[in-house]
């Protein structure tokens, strides 16, 4: 049972760490410009819905990052990366949403750490009682 509680906390921390990583990448690349829609930074997000607990525990969280090509075109013929039609392409990233995802993942990570530490404290108290 103790192993299960530790595994739950550890997988929760891994999930939230991957969400933090994805949101950080999205924020860092929000203004990345490309000359074609196919070469635009692909927005990353982590979706673990539909996965079993075993799949989540055993998975490499970075491999679960989904990439979506959400692109917006801007007409800027004077830009060095503009294509023949004068368009540059940027990823469709909402910074407010990404900041919210970052904050939410941080709080969830902290909650998993607290749960892990609380159980660790209870386990050590139980060992002290047995002395």
> Which is more confident, 123 or 59?
123
**Residue pLDDT, tens place only, 19-73:** 999 999 999 999 999 999 889 999 998 877 777 777 776 776 666 677 777 899 9
pLDDT in the model for residue 106: 96
Domain total in the chain: 1
- pLDDT tens, residue by residue, 64-121: 677 777 899 999 999 999 999 999 999 999 999 999 999 999 999 999 999 999 988 9
- Bridge partners (DSSP) of residue 44 are 67
Q: Tell me the residue range of the domain where 93 lies.
A: 2-129
């Amino acid at each position: 049972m103790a192993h299960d509680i530790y595994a739950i906390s550890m997988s929760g921390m891994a999930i939230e760490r991957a969400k933090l990583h994805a949101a950080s990448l999205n924020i860092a690349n929000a203004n990345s410009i490309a000359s074609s829609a196919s070469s635009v930074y692909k927005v990353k997000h982590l979706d673990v819905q539909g996965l079993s607990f075993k799949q989540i525990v055993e998975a490499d969280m970075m491999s679960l990052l989904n990439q979506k090509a959400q692109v917006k075109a801007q007409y800027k013929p004077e830009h060095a990366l503009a294509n023949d039609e004068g368009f540059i392409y940027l990823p469709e990233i909402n910074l407010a949403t990404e900041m919210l995802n970052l904050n939410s993942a941080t709080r969830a990570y902290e909650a998993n750490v607290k749960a892990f530490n609380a159980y660790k404290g209870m386990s050590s108290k139980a060992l002290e009682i047995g002395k």
